[in-house]
Chains A and B, each alone.
Chain A
């Protein structure tokens, strides 16, 4: 875990914000005092005197949440720094209210040996704005042929393993990884896709792909692999996490798996929870991602599963790409959307405000990724290392209207007006983001 060394421990009093931490059972207005990066005191509004050396933030009318945790981001380092760096990606995370992220190993070269991982961790120590955890590859070169040195990678700090971007095609190879997991631990994190069904596909297979003449990625290319790998995990008593589920068939396969094993978990992305393949009709490449946007029936099944807790957490699958990699015909465009800066606002606007999900459930699911990957669970309580975000739920803002913190601009919510603006993020005890825009309430920067 890289720590934000360049930030000094926060000395901060946030007055009168509505504190919502479902895990801690807090849902009320409070003053919160952070001293030396730790939460020193929670008390009724107006009851804490501001120490001299302390920044004071007026939280009136704002919400304070535990900082979000994103178990699935692409920081593109090493090798594709033109898309994102650890510095820019974690700054985008901080701007989105995230206090920790987990980076995928499909870099160039991939994180498939301990020396690459150690070098990355050192870079993170220097550059990262928020703590970064790393997953390592399951197979060398993510080629699906030979296992990586999983035990050594774990000793070097890998939180788990994934060939994300690609599936582990061979059931035999995944079974070996599950067996070896007993030696080294670490979650096996799975991108589920049967290339025999999905190869060449550019979008969800359905009425829209029929209209556009684009080769489809059928929903069953994902769900059959979820079912297969759940069966393998149950057989080997292994711990698996399913990435970015996109369709109702996968939700059903997950439900069946969870009935038999407590060692299965899953994530879903903001775009799959809020958009459908109808968005692809205009062939705008920012809507091209893998897995693809699917139908309204799939979207509602995913929301329902997130609401019930069947799907454990939200993960952005933040996938930055340079403009020239997206400014091409749809079939040639790179897959993926950025998501760190918009995740909360998109889900708040399109699910919470629409009455599809409770705010407390959203906050819980946006922080639940931590414990799934053995990271410290951000909690608002006395003595805790401060990891919080202050959000103005009433503030509307245009996505990309003032550019992006991320190095890339390929955001599927670009141009939309969303509600819920992150004003302040504290991660691992340090202030890592503070909105400075003139459009924000003066109260934010007012120091008593």
Chain B
């Protein structure tokens, strides 16, 4: 029995069968995205609220597009220009929006656990679109989707996650999802940017790129400029010298991923981004289909395959 509950708050809400069910569903929605009329009536008459407390381009736009392609009515609320700016609490905002009886609330928040809190305050299904440095489960699902398409199976694959793991919700959700799919995960970065005891998540931790050649997939994280100011690394120059992934790091067998947006010339060199090894645009493309699949599985569920037809 594939476990998909009412909410998607964490990758821990899904077992391997649940992940595979969402990915299979995403495959069928990817086909829809190739049609001239990219719309199915699965969520007609239902409402999806996007509640974004943080700047986001690809996550918010792909959730919006996913809901619209499922024929849902979509309301997008951003903290800037909303009553949140007037000091309204998260609880009050959620209860206000819940009065519209949405089928789902998609929330992005700078705070760990915000999505789980929201789930306690609303009758809607809640989808975590990123909660602080905790998790970003739909990003991990679209990454696994992209990899599964390329590799067939992730069983036994070696995946290196390189960069600022400390501040990365993408890293945390990916470690969990990749482990669930049978991959071996290594995190790599300056020790100042690796969380103490991260190995407890079932991964290895390495302070240098030595051994990277054994990786099947190199997943590079965004290096935020403010980490330099906070002295996590001595200088951008030193970070680039020791941790930047260039095309010379990658052989013909290895795949390169990045959650975006890329700092060109920081964590990735331009030639690596533009190399055929890079799956970065595949990841973006997968975003809509995977988020359609998540909305569908949470709100419709069951094997109503006709709805897709």
Contact = CB atoms under 8 A, between A and B. Distances in A.
B112 interface: yes
Contacts of B111: 329-332
B102 to A, nearest CB: 21
Nearest to B92: A324
Interface centre among A207, A213, A327, A328 (most CB of B within 10 A): A213
Contact of B116 (A205, A210, A283, A327): A283
A332 B91 CA distance: 13
B252 interface: no
Contacts of A209: 195-196
B294 to A, nearest CB: 21
Contact of B112 (A207, A214, A218, A324): A214
Interface string B108-130: 01011110110000000000000
Contacts of A283: 112-113, 116-117
Nearest to B173: A213
A202 B112 CA distance: 10
A330 B133 CA distance: 12
Given A216-B196, A328-B89, A329-B109, A211 B132 contact: no
B196 A205 contact: yes
Given A211-B172, A213-B133, A324 B113 contact: no
A443 interface: no
Interface string B35-79: 000000000000000000000000000000000000000000000
B117 A207 contact: no
Interface in B185-205: 195-198, 200-201
B134 A206 contact: no
Measured as residues with beta carbon below 8 angstroms from the partner, the interface class of chain A is 20 to 34
A210 B198 contact: yes
Interface string A176-211: 000000000000000000000000001001110111
B157 interface: no
A324 B172 CA distance: 29
A207 B134 contact: no
Contacts of B196: 205-206, 209-210, 216, 218
Contacts of A440: none
Nearest to A209: B195
B90 interface: yes
B169 interface: yes
Contacts of B197: 206-207, 210
B216 interface: no
Contacts of A202: 112
A210 B113 contact: no
A330 B113 contact: yes
B297 interface: no
B90 A214 contact: no
Interface in A337-363: none
B262 to A, nearest CB: 22
B112 A212 contact: yes
B200 A328 contact: no
B133 A211 contact: no
A211 B166 CA distance: 10
A54 B196 CA distance: 63
A135 B290 CA distance: 59
A327 B172 contact: no
Nearest to A216: B196
Nearest to B176: A211
A207 B90 contact: no
Interface in A284-336: 324, 327-332
A207 B200 contact: yes
B132 A331 contact: yes
23 contacts: A206-B196, A207-B200, A209-B195, A210-B195, A210-B198, A210-B200, A211-B201, A213-B112, A214-B134, A216-B196, A283-B112, A283-B113, A328-B89, A328-B90, A328-B117, A329-B90, A329-B113, A329-B117, A329-B132, A330-B111, A331-B111, A331-B112, A332-B111
For the complex of A and B, 3 pairs with smallest distance between CB atoms: A213-B133, A329-B111, A207-B200
